[in-house]
Amino acid sequence: MDYLPVCLKLDGEPVLLVGGGEIATRKARLLHRAGAVLTVVAPEVSAELTDLVGDSARVQRTPWSPEKPLDQFRAVIAATNDTAVNAEVSQVCRAANLPVNVVDSPALCSFIIPAIVDRNPLLVGISSSGASPVMARRIRSTLETLYPPGYGAAARFYGEQRDRVSSEIAEEGDRRQFWEAIVDSPITDLLARQEVAEASRRFDRALEDPGALIHGAVYLIGAGPGDPDLMTFKALRLLQRADVVLYDRLIGDGILELARRDADRIYVGKQRSEHAMPQDQINQALVDYARAGKRVARLKGGDPFIFGRGGEEIEGLMKAGIDFEVVPGITAASGAACYGGIPLTHRDHAQSVRFITGHTRNYELNLPWAQFLNPAETLVFYMGLAGLEIICRELMAAGRAGDTPMAVIEKATRPDQRVITGTLSTMHRIVEETQPAAPTLLIIGSVVTLHESLGWFNGTSSDDD
């Protein structure tokens, strides 16, 4: 270990910053957040740095001089673009046993400043010991996605409860187990969402009865249309927390691999006339696992509330008194349209968009077809492949032109995505020839003509020529 990570308290403490340019300003922002009282020495000082320092008496627009007294400072930062000046600052400070940091010169530093994830009072520092700052920043970016800003509020709350817990739980081992259970419980999520009253109530109950911490929850997660990179930070964080994952058929390759390796994975997918688990059994399974103290990820393709039956599932959770969170996902229409180069709305083509279920019952599709005739409105049919012939026929019978452009997007946002284009009158024949497989999405409207110029995704396009 080249360095010992240490958190230095600088709130209200004097710190000398040598330099007044962009590099110095970046360091000044960080020191200002830590509450340091800065003195800046440089021939020229940026306006932002002057504002950060505040008192003009602490801005000395003069060159650095080794004769300046340093005993009043707790630390020194050298952030000039003059290597000789930086080396001299380091030499003087080391001789005075004063902590010194020289930007981008680890050999001249007695301490270094890591990349920081700031969830005050919770802080995470990532250091490469000066070898690769870019790698440290990359790791910080990853951690930023895993720990939301609200974790700082949770840490503050727990800090306020430490004395109380110490007085209630005498044994150190018992206290440690209590805190471990608390931090992993839904109380942390409640605090992160600023639901302090409910979090306090549960904390009080847990302190009286530690068994109350065995408390499951369900995360209804929209996994997006297929590409794992389209999942939200929150979706990824909750998925990696889950003990049990119930997942659909439409979950894209690679998404399930983001779950914890020790999590139980249960397939509950549905396809036409074949349900791995009926919906009522899915609803009950969510309740049962949560009541057993499990954290359950209900992983759904697209968005849970757009033809995803998410509303039915949370109704059951609410009736059972189970904690749950709903995480929106990028719905298939947005993902398919963007990756296929088909804007759902466009000033010259469509001023509105309508999402419609194309799911048939007994080979019938009863929809208000007469409402779908506006040529300035894009129609998007989910689950419409089996009923494609009905959809095309009924739209034309209602009055929509047979030459209306149409696209069938197969396996949207995935590496093997395919965009098949045609018209209302020709698409049924084209689909018979090209044989797309689910999942598919139908887009109808003049915006489909933009696919040829905007379709940047490396899929295969087929039309009616």
443 has binding-site annotation: no
* Topology of the domain covering 14-113: Rossmann fold (3.40.50)
225 has binding-site annotation: yes
**Distance in angstroms (rounded) separating the CA atoms of residues 169 and 176:** 10
Average pLDDT, the chain: 90
For the question of residue 248 being annotated catalytic, the response is yes
Residue 251 confidence (pLDDT) above 50: yes
Marked catalytic residue, from 27, 189, 227, 248 = 248
CA separation (Å) from 417 to 225, 267, 318, 400, 446?
11, 23, 38, 28, 21
303 has binding-site annotation: yes
For the question of residue 270 being annotated catalytic, the response is yes
Class of the domain covering 333-462: alpha beta
pLDDT of res. 456: 58
pLDDT of res. 26: 92
pLDDT tens digits, 390-405: 999 999 999 999 999 9
Q: Is the peptide bond before 415 cis (omega within 30 degrees of 0)?
A: no
pLDDT of res. 177: 84
**pLDDT-based confidence at 273, cuts 50/70/90?**
low
Structure token pair of residue 97:
């046993």
Least confident piece of the model among 94-103, 248-257, 441-450: 248-257
Residue 287 confidence (pLDDT) above 80: yes
Q: What is the mean pLDDT of residues 26-36?
A: 93
301 has binding-site annotation: yes
315 has binding-site annotation: no
Residue 96 confidence (pLDDT) above 90: yes
pLDDT of res. 269: 81
Amino acid at 175: R
Structure token pair of residue 88:
């001299």
pLDDT of res. 271: 60
Nearest to 267 by CA among 288, 282, 283: 282
pLDDT of res. 272: 55
pLDDT of res. 213: 72
Q: What is the mean pLDDT of residues 52-64?
A: 85
Q: What is the mean pLDDT of residues 103-128?
A: 92
228 has binding-site annotation: no
Choose which CATH entry (3.30.70, 3.40.50, 1.10.8, 1.10.357) describes domain 151-213: 1.10.8
Residue 406 confidence (pLDDT) above 50: yes
- Which has more pLDDT, 55 or 164? 164
pLDDT of res. 214: 67
pLDDT of res. 246: 96
Residue 447 confidence (pLDDT) above 90: yes
**pLDDT-based confidence at 148, cuts 50/70/90?**
confident
Q: What is the mean pLDDT of residues 250-255?
A: 83
332 has binding-site annotation: yes
pLDDT tens digits, 326-358: 999 999 999 999 999 999 999 999 999 999 999
pLDDT of res. 210: 75
Structure token pair of residue 123:
């802080």
pLDDT of res. 452: 85
pLDDT of res. 459: 45
Residues of the chain above pLDDT 70, percent: 95
pLDDT of res. 54: 81
Architecture of domain 217-327: 3-Layer(aba) Sandwich (3.40)
**For the chain, what are the domain ranges?**
14-113, 151-213, 217-327, 333-462
pLDDT of res. 155: 94
Q: What is the mean pLDDT of residues 172-180?
A: 87
Marked catalytic residue, from 270, 288, 463, 464 = 270
Q: What is the mean pLDDT of residues 180-208?
A: 90
